[in-house]
């Protein structure tokens, strides 16, 4: 079987930093001091987030914006961000755009047709024969499944070098007149960012080995977007940490058994940080000590939840010159969950 190497990972964020205490103060001023707001505002302090990044300055949120206006900003800013992340990843892997055989793009927070990968090809000199695979709608699980799809392309033997790009502009969809729990939670949790990863059948970097996913039955209402006239409305309708604690372990064990592994075989766990309670549940699931998912918690603190690309930020943080950190770690388990409701796992080995 063809080996799949992760040659490089790089990230990018937009220029506007949102400090969590400042955003909490602005939300309090926007929605007033009702009992409902008072019950919801502690979420800002409880997220474990100190700052996030936005494609637009904070003053932008005080005005009304139509769907078309928001999506136009998404299209422009998303392209800028994936261009920056791609150039950084190519430089780290010492590759040129002309050497890339396929591009996989992942995003959920806007619409672009032609897709972002086609737009990127007008910015950077990829070959015109480069294969494109745009993926929409995976949400927070998109980083993991994007890696899996890119690895499948390399493993097929038809594509020696594959670029994965992901970008999310979650903050564009804040709805200033909606005083609901889901809107407040989304306002406290989400940030914007982009990432790029280079996978190939040769070169430096750890190997991506097994990948798997599981879509739970009757869980379509757990997470996602509702389309409204003025944008996208976040859906958080069930207790995800409870679902992780109650149902994820048998699914994880089945995945590991299929690939002749157990939890004891892994010395690093790299997870999408959906929130602090989710990370708490994952540490229990992985039989790790509290606060042991250091990379995930650090990314959540410094960038917030950037939907699909957050796992790639965690992965970048955990990689140091092609080795997993801590340096003695040889095998890592990657995980993420997202709309569907779907769980995804990958194994990484150096």
Q: What is the pLDDT of residues 7-20, one digit of tens each?
A: 999 999 999 999 99
Query: Do residue 178 and residue 304 come from a single domain?
Result: no
Query: Do residue 47 and residue 194 come from a single domain?
Result: yes
Question: Which one, of 271, 278, 276, lies nearest residue 223 by Cα?
Answer: 278
What is the arithmetic mean of pLDDT over 70-90?
Answer: 97
Query: Do residue 338 and residue 226 come from a single domain?
Result: yes
Query: Do residue 266 and residue 288 come from a single domain?
Result: yes
Query: Do residue 58 and residue 188 come from a single domain?
Result: yes
pTM for the whole thing? Answer: 0.93
Q: What is the pLDDT of residues 54-69, one digit of tens each?
A: 999 999 988 888 888 9
Q: What is the pLDDT of residues 170-224, one digit of tens each?
A: 999 887 776 677 778 888 889 999 999 999 998 778 999 999 999 988 887 777 7
Q: Which domain holds residue 78?
A: 5-200
**pLDDT at residue 31 tops 80:** no
Inter-residue contact 134 to 115 (CB < 8 Å): yes
**pLDDT at residue 326 tops 70:** no
Structure tokens at 316: 């970048």
What is the arithmetic mean of pLDDT over 252-268?
Answer: 94
At 330 the pLDDT is 84
Domain boundary among the residues 178, 200, 222 is at: 200
Percentage of residues of the chain with pLDDT beyond 70: 95
Q: What is the pLDDT of residues 101-126, one digit of tens each?
A: 999 999 999 999 999 999 999 999 99
Q: What is the pLDDT of residues 132-168, one digit of tens each?
A: 999 999 999 999 999 999 999 999 999 999 999 999 9
What is the set of active-site residues?
Answer: 140
**pLDDT at residue 247 tops 90:** no
Query: Do residue 27 and residue 167 come from a single domain?
Result: yes
Mean pLDDT of the chain: 90
Which band of pLDDT confidence, cut at 50, 70 and 90, is reported for residue 95?
A: very high
At 203 the pLDDT is 79
At 39 the pLDDT is 81
Inter-residue contact 53 to 169 (CB < 8 Å): no
Query: Do residue 24 and residue 80 come from a single domain?
Result: yes
At 109 the pLDDT is 93
At 322 the pLDDT is 52
Query: Do residue 58 and residue 129 come from a single domain?
Result: yes
Query: Do residue 187 and residue 317 come from a single domain?
Result: no
Query: Do residue 39 and residue 173 come from a single domain?
Result: yes
- Separation of alpha carbons 334 and 348, rounded Å: 7
Structure tokens at 54: 């936005």
- DSSP code of residue 206: P
* Number of separate domains in the chain: 2
Query: Do residue 262 and residue 214 come from a single domain?
Result: yes
Q: Which long-range contacts (CB under 8 A, 24 or more apart) does 61-67 make?
A: 61/26, 61/174, 61/176, 62/176, 64/176, 64/230, 65/230, 65/231, 66/229, 66/230, 67/229, 67/230, 67/231
Q: What CATH number is attached to the domain comprising 146?
A: 3.40.47.10
Residues 6+ apart with CB under 8 A from 122: none
**pLDDT at residue 319 tops 80:** yes
Query: Do residue 63 and residue 190 come from a single domain?
Result: yes
């Amino acid at each position: 079987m063809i080996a799949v190497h992760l040659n490089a990972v790089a990230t990018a964020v937009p220029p506007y930093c949102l400090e969590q205490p400042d955003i909490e103060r602005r939300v309090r001023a926007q929605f007033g001091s009702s009992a409902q707001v008072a019950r919801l505002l502690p979420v800002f302090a409880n997220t474990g987030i100190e700052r996030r990044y936005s494609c637009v300055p904070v003053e932008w949120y005080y005005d009304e914006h139509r769907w078309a206006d928001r999506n136009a900003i998404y299209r422009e800013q998303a392209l800028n961000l994936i261009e920056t992340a791609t150039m950084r990843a190519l430089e780290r892997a010492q590759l040129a755009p002309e050497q890339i055989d396929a591009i996989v793009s992942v995003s959920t927070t806007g619409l672009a047709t032609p897709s972002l990968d086609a737009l990127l090809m007008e910015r950077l000199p990829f070959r015109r024969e480069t294969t494109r695979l745009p993926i929409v709608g995976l949400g927070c699980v998109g980083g993991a499944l994007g890696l899996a799809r890119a690895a499948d392309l390399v493993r097929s033997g038809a594509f020696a070098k594959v670029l994965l790009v992901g970008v999310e502009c979650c903050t564009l969809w804040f709805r200033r007149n909606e005083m609901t729990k889901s809107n407040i939670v989304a306002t406290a949790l989400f940030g914007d960012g982009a990432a790029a990863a280079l996978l190939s059948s040769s070169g430096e970097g750890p190997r991506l080995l097994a990948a798997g996913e599981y879509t739970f039955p009757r869980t379509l209402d757990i997470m996602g977007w509702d389309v409204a006239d003025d944008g996208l409305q976040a859906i958080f309708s069930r207790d995800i940490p409870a679902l992780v604690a109650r149902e994820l372990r048998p699914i994880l064990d089945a995945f590991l058994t299929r690939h002749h592994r157990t939890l004891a075989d892994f010395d690093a766990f790299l997870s999408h940080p959906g929130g602090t309670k989710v990370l708490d549940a994952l540490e229990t699931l992985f039989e790790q000590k509290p606060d042991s998912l250091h990379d995930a918690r650090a990314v959540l603190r410094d960038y917030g939840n950037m939907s699909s690309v957050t796992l790639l930020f965690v992965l970048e943080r955990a990689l140091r010159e092609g080795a997993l950190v801590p340096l003695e770690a040889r095998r890592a388990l990657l995980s993420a969950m997202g709309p569907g409701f779907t769980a995804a796992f990958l194994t990484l080995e150096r």
